[in-house]
Amino acid sequence: MKNKIHAGIGEKKTVIYINIDELHLDPLNPRLPEEVQGKGQSEILEALYDFFDLDELAFSMAQNGYFDEEPIVVIGPKGKNKGFVVIEGNRRVATIKILLDSTLQKKFGIKSWPSIEQEVKKDISSIPAISYNNRDEVLSYLGVRHIAGIKKWDSYAKARYVASMVAADYDMDDIQAQIGDRQNSARKHYLCYRLTELAKSEFDFDIEPVKENFSYLMLATGQGSIKRYLGIPEKLKDADVKEPIPRGKYENLKNLFSLVFGEGKEKRSVLHESRDITNFLSHILANKDATEYLISTRDLSSAYEQSDGEENMVKKHLVNANRKLEAVLGIVHRHKTPDVLDEITKCKETVDRLVEVAFEEKKK
């Protein structure tokens, strides 16, 4: 287990200015699509342009240049002429690289970005940075900034970041202490990351929808009934985040992922919004019959009606039907049209059949 790193303690870091050509985009950036991680600079730059909305930064820099009050964070240099890897500030560096290179703008089909004055070109060609010796030294800073801080990453990026720290042999308690996490946020994110990896490895589950709505999984695994359905301890601190659920619950995990995220075009998600998890799904998964009904029909509303048991569902429907009939009883004398009388006849036939079935045993 690695020792704790106190990135803010010790010799104060000096801001240095680095030429943009010496700056390399981070191939391990947690926000990059997984298929791009580890790729070359060209692929990373294109991904940052495609997925991270650099336009606003481009217009700001064309107008104002680079704000020295916001140094990037780098590691390096690694050997002679190998440059620096950008750990914090990849969007800014990518924007500058594209702004300064008309060939890149043409490659990406950019026609709306502003042209920049010579004075701005000079200003953004060398930008302020704080340099660390290696990635480990800056991990806690990133956690404070993007998990517990004000510039938070999306849920899946947070989870991948915590996973990278665990992979680097950091203890979960130390990770949470370093980033000032008092809400078990890092543990929650890593637990859901492990569940996602498990669904992918065991069932070849397409996790792209999971990445896009990772917060749904975070919300679901916070519900007591869903924790029990998966075999996760009630108290998160008691969970083994590396082996999050018993093998006997793997099929339940598959069901949960299918219900929440869908399985291609054949099986769509049963949810319409995140509130469906707390309002409906959590109650359904607490009841075996309702759960089986939902899995077979994917009808969330009907499954919820069964979540208190079939008898309660029957009583609920009868109460609702009786209430509506009583409301009609007071005004029906004013509406004795053929259509209304036809519907009344249908109601009587249904009630007659209902009485016959309900009291059949007593007659015997």
What mean pLDDT comes out for the span 264-275? 91
- Rounded Cα distance between 151 and 179, Å, is 13
Confidence check: pLDDT of 127 > 80: yes
How far apart, in Å, are the Cα atoms of 273 and each of 138, 231, 278, 304, 307?
A: 37, 25, 10, 15, 19
pLDDT of residue 143: 64
Q: DSSP assignment, residue 234?
A: S
What are 31's two structure tokens?
A: 């926000």
Q: Kindly give the interhelix angle for 288-297 and 250-261, rounded to the nearest 10 degrees.
A: 50
What mean pLDDT comes out for the span 110-137? 89
pLDDT grade for 308, boundaries at 50, 70 and 90: confident
One DSSP character per residue, 108-153 reads TT--SSPP--HHHHHHHTEEEEEEESSTHHHHHHHHIIIIISSSPP
pLDDT grade for 146, boundaries at 50, 70 and 90: low
pLDDT of residue 144: 61
pLDDT of residue 119: 94
Find, among 70, 78, 84, 68, the residue nearest to 18 by Cα: 84
pLDDT in tens, 30-82: 888 888 888 999 999 999 999 888 988 899 999 889 999 889 999 887 655 57
- Rounded Cα distance between 263 and 268, Å, is 6
Q: What average pLDDT does the structure give for the chain? A: 86
pLDDT of residue 48: 92
pLDDT grade for 241, boundaries at 50, 70 and 90: confident
pLDDT in tens, 161-211: 888 888 878 888 877 776 666 678 888 999 999 999 999 999 999 999 999
Is 15-134 assigned to CATH 3.90.1530? Answer: yes
What is the bridge-based pairing of β-strands 72-75 and 84-88? antiparallel
Find, among 295, 298, 283, the residue nearest to 253 by Cα: 295
**pTM of model > 0.75:** no
Identify the weakest region by mean pLDDT among 140-154, 161-175, 283-297. Answer: 140-154
